[in-house]
Chain A
Amino acid sequence: MFKNHIKIALRNLVKNKGFTFINIIGLSVAFGVAILLSMTAFFELSYDQFHENKGSIYQIYTTEQTTKEPQVSLSNPVPLAPSLQEEIPGIDKISRQLEEKIILSFNDKQFNLDISWVDQDFFSIFSFPIVEGNKNHPLKELSSVVITQETAKNIFGAQDAIGKTVLLQINQKEEPFVISAIAEDNKPNSSIEFDIAVNFVRHSKYQQNKDAWDTKNHQVYIQLDKEVSVANFEKSTAAFTNLHYKEEIDKLKRDGVLPDQNNQYMQLHLFPFEDNHFLSFPAGKANVSKTLPYLVLGVAFLILLIACVNFVNMNIAKSSTRLKEIGMRKTLGATKKHVFFQFWFESILIFLTTIIIGVGMSVLLLDPFKTLFNTEASLGSTITPVIGFGFILAFFMITLLAGGYPALLLSKLGTLQVLKGKLNGKGRNHVRDVLIIIQFAIVILLTSGAFVLWGQLDYMRSKDLGFNKEHVISFPLNGKRNSYEAIQLIREELERQPNIVSVTGSDNNLGIGKDGSVYQSILGFDHKGKGVKTNMLVVDYDYPETLDIELKAGRTFNRSFPNDSKSILINEAMAKELEESDPINKQIMMDDSIKYTIIGVIKDYNFRKLNKKIDPITLFMDTEWDLYYGYVKIAPTNIIESYDNIKSIWQKIEPQAAFLGSFLDENIDRTFRSEKIMITIITSGAIVAVILSCIGLLAISLLVVNQRTKEIGVRKVIGASVSSITILLAKDFIKLVLIAFACSVPIAWWSTSNWLENYSYHIDLTLWFFVISGILAILIALATISVGTIKAAMQNPVKSLRTE
């Protein structure tokens, strides 16, 4: 029996080569794409799940009441962690962590590395397994350093790294450290990444900030005792906060800030570390949003759905040619069960073939896919027994539904009816219509989504940010020299070059550079009896000039004013925050001792990503604070030459350091990483959906035309024109696309407008995005249908009548 079924299945597949081919291609593509997409999604969801203590690890954040909405901070003061451990019960382990860059020297070679300053407990809270060296307390000695395998290989090659002494540049001084342990390389799905880890106590600012509760610069992780709940912990720290943050709280009270419902002005909170990758803090509340991975899974699901709809539709349509066989089998003794299993088995055969091709495809396309989607996901890192089992279950369900439904329909047919080769199937056409509507609704949903996303990205890219992003190159000052000295050297070197306009430096980048680091420093102080917060930026001379930031009032930093180290530039938002109508020459006490004078007001510019409003910012020019980035503005001609020029000069000045310069518009572009990933996913999803739907529509329209050959012949004999027949045939399908349009627009509108809400600066949603995708869908559908219909309509009616 089984053999008989295989035979007939194979022979039928071979007989309908075109159909089989379309079916297999469609399903394989869908499976391949779905595998790749769900792999990405599961990879995202696997972030930080590998820690053995998952479930009891938390990260601390503080909320502070303000006159507006509560403010959240992940940064904590240095004394917090030790005080917590001493005063609050229930803390099993605690560790601070501060991520920075550091220069490591070994045998006259220099390495620019990511360092994490951490406490001893760090390696027992988190699962970063030590493969060599001191496994239990790798950071017990203050001069110990833990490095990853990859870093060890880079520095020492094949040599044994344990016990070697390296020099770390702390406070412009090289200090010796001994390698005590080698940790496994950072997993791609880990939020915490480091090349080396050193005891927190050795940080350059540690001594200075040891008891300072008002300087906050690092994260704190906690592992709670098993019996302690987060709510209890948060409750038990109320008094603690009131005691240690008293100064800040008093200021808040003075400014008329209202406490929260628990009568707290500041509150320590915990969030589970496993949610770290998906965390954001809109409106002062921790919010875990796994939208992106679920969106990707959703697209994968929709694509599979389209392919399955194709399969069902084509199989039902195609079954008319198998009716005689079914009838015959029934008269020869086949029961419903027999017929069902025969046809289901045929479906399984196709599904098995396609899943094999699909898996093969996804393996082949993995590398281009990874670059396209900027993901580290791989089959190995994502497949767990649960996911594997889920995958098999999903496959089984798909074959059961998509393969079983047509089989069920066929098995239910009456023997006599099918022997006559007739399908009385008005009802089944409804199912087909609904399925086509679903398909096109998905297509319209995805294309309009893609249009809106592209629109927003284009808007963000082309928006005037208030500074020159096309002709300015920024690069991290990652060498050994003092940063001001380095900038001065570059300035001297470049001054002679014809295509260089100006050179400056600052302690922060605009956008995200090649070094990939982002940070923000905020300063709070009192002005006219009111607390004010501002972003801080340390700059060198010519900063606004180099970046073409417009000056609204006053002047910029100038070499002819020797006292400019106590002068500041503010932006308009800051002027507003200070409530000064004429801020020029006003003095501000930003510290207990130092008075700063406002010398100029610059126009608001988007120094952060466009989903944020422009906040107050203050520009300082105090050489006590280091610069971290150099900026060079070049002339619009010979751009590549100028870039190479800057690179070679940097390498002359800092021969050991890599040049990581990039244009600001590239940097800005880098900040759109998540948007770009989303766009790529939705766009490619839309393209695949369009292709698959077209395949399905093509096949069905051909079959419908076939079924209506006689009708077409009769109509032509009576005198219908080619165009009227084409319209007649296309009309039914276009109606379905229109219904699909009506169904999908509200969903598309709702979801895209929700998404745009995340951006302070966004395009206005107009109906055009949806109308255009609707028109596109109709055009595509028309083009697809016309392949078969026009041919049928043009045919000689005598011929089409003869076939009856």
Chain B
Amino acid sequence: MLLQLKNVSKWVQSGGQRVFLLKDINFWVNEGDFISIMGPSGSGKSTLLNGIGMLDAFSAGEYAFLDQPVHTIKEKQRAKLYKEHIGFVFQSYHLIDELTVKENLEMPLLYKKYKSSQIKALVADTLDRFNIVGKKDLFPSQLSGGQQQLVGIARALIASPKLILADEPTGNLNSKQGEEIMETFTQLNKVGVTIIQVTHSEKNMAYGSRVINLLDGHIV
């Protein structure tokens, strides 16, 4: 088992009252899963994903990632955990505009203190694998949306994480580009990468092996 959530809740204080974004979520993920989280706007999809990605802490409940209790360990260890094992893909790509494709890909490796020879090799591999060698010196603004998202995925994958978290990865793309991105995910899943995606679209949902439906913070 890659991760497990037990009775997880998330709330915010608003006007002296607790407003639940997530309530009593129980949920587990095995290695190699491709999970789609579905639900209408405001149902808590992104909150759940951010919690799993450790960008945000749950208010209550237990969260185990690779048998480590995420809800009790220190910030530093938690950062280490997600740095090592989780890659993020965002709806609006979140590439750094001032860096070229190649430099964007390098960045996670720099923070993980890879040696420069290793970085070179990994970047070259990744550029090759995603067929973007020709674009390595371009800036994000010079790429189409689909290409930018491809770079985003490549960046998420470059340090070989166990888990990819994708928050509406095709939300800003047209249908053809979206399909290509989803194809890429499928390919990755086939070679063993665990993927959790948040999506609105039934079509994208179909790529996943398991679906979790959220409504008003509950799994339905």
Contacts and interface: CB of A to CB of B under 8 A. Distances in A.
Which of B103, B106, B110 neighbours the largest number of chain A CB atoms within 10 Å of its CB? B110
Contacts of A327: 94
B111 A7 contact: no
Contact of B96 (A8, A333, A415): A8
Interface string B57-87: 0000000000000000000000100110000
Interface string B88-118: 1010001111110001001110111000000
Contacts of A7: 98-99, 103
**A contacts with B: majority SS:** helix
B56 interface: yes
A325 B96 contact: yes
Contacts of B83: 332-333
A332 B99 contact: no
A415 B98 CA distance: 20
A332 B55 contact: no
A319 B56 CA distance: 22
B103 A328 contact: no
B107 A4 contact: yes
B79 A333 contact: yes
A353 interface: no
A381 B1 CA distance: 74
A415 B82 CA distance: 13
Contacts of B155: 332
A653 B58 CA distance: 102
A331 B88 contact: yes
Nearest to B84: A333
Contacts of A4: 99, 103, 106-107, 110
B107 A332 contact: yes
A416 interface: yes
B43 interface: no
B98 A8 contact: yes
B120 to A, nearest CB: 13
Interface in A381-437: 415-416, 419
26 contacts: A1-B111, A4-B99, A4-B106, A8-B98, A11-B98, A12-B98, A328-B94, A329-B96, A329-B107, A329-B111, A330-B55, A331-B53, A331-B55, A331-B94, A332-B88, A332-B107, A333-B82, A333-B111, A333-B112, A335-B79, A335-B111, A338-B111, A415-B55, A416-B50, A419-B55, A419-B90
Contacts of B95: 328
A325 B94 CA distance: 7
Nearest to A2: B110
A8 B88 CA distance: 21
Contacts of A334: 111
A333 B108 contact: yes
Nearest to B167: A419
Contacts of A710: none
Contacts of A329: 96, 107, 111
B83 to A, nearest CB: 4
Interface residues of A, number: 22
A68 interface: no
Contacts of A415: 55-56
B36 to A, nearest CB: 21
Interface in A737-784: none
Interface in A336-390: 338
A511 B112 CA distance: 75
A33 to B, nearest CB: 33
Most B CB within 10 A of own CB, among A1, A8, A333: A333
Nearest to B152: A328
A135 interface: no
Given A331-B88, A416-B56, 4 more contacts: A7-B99, A333-B83, A335-B111, A415-B55
Interface in A718-742: none
A569 B163 CA distance: 107
Contacts of A12: 98
Interface in A1-25: 1, 4, 7-8, 11-12, 15
A328 B96 contact: yes
The 5 closest A-B CB pairs, nearest first, are A333-B83, A333-B111, A11-B98, A332-B108, A328-B94
Contacts of B50: 416
A324 interface: yes
Contacts of B94: 324, 327-328, 331, 419
Contacts of A331: 53, 55, 88, 94
B118 to A, nearest CB: 14
Interface string B29-50: 0000000000000000000001
B42 to A, nearest CB: 15
B98 A15 contact: yes
A118 B26 CA distance: 100
A342 B150 CA distance: 27
A702 B106 CA distance: 35
Most chain B beta-carbon contacts within 10 A, residue among A4, A7, A15: A4
B111 A8 contact: no
Contacts of A416: 50, 55-56
A330 B90 CA distance: 14
Contacts of B108: 332-333
B54 to A, nearest CB: 9
A308 to B, nearest CB: 25
Contacts of B88: 331-332
A12 B99 CA distance: 10
Contacts of A325: 96-98
Contacts of B111: 1, 329, 332-335, 338
A336 to B, nearest CB: 10
Interface string A306-327: 0000000000000000001101
A261 to B, nearest CB: 70
Contacts of A332: 83, 88, 107-108, 111, 155
Of the candidates A7, A324, A327, A331, the one having the most CB atoms from chain B within 10 angstroms of its own CB is A331
B127 to A, nearest CB: 17
A157 to B, nearest CB: 66
A4 B96 CA distance: 12
B84 to A, nearest CB: 8
A330 B56 CA distance: 12
A137 B94 CA distance: 82
Contacts of B103: 4, 7
A221 to B, nearest CB: 67
A328 B88 CA distance: 9
Nearest to B80: A333
A1 B110 CA distance: 6
A8 B99 contact: yes
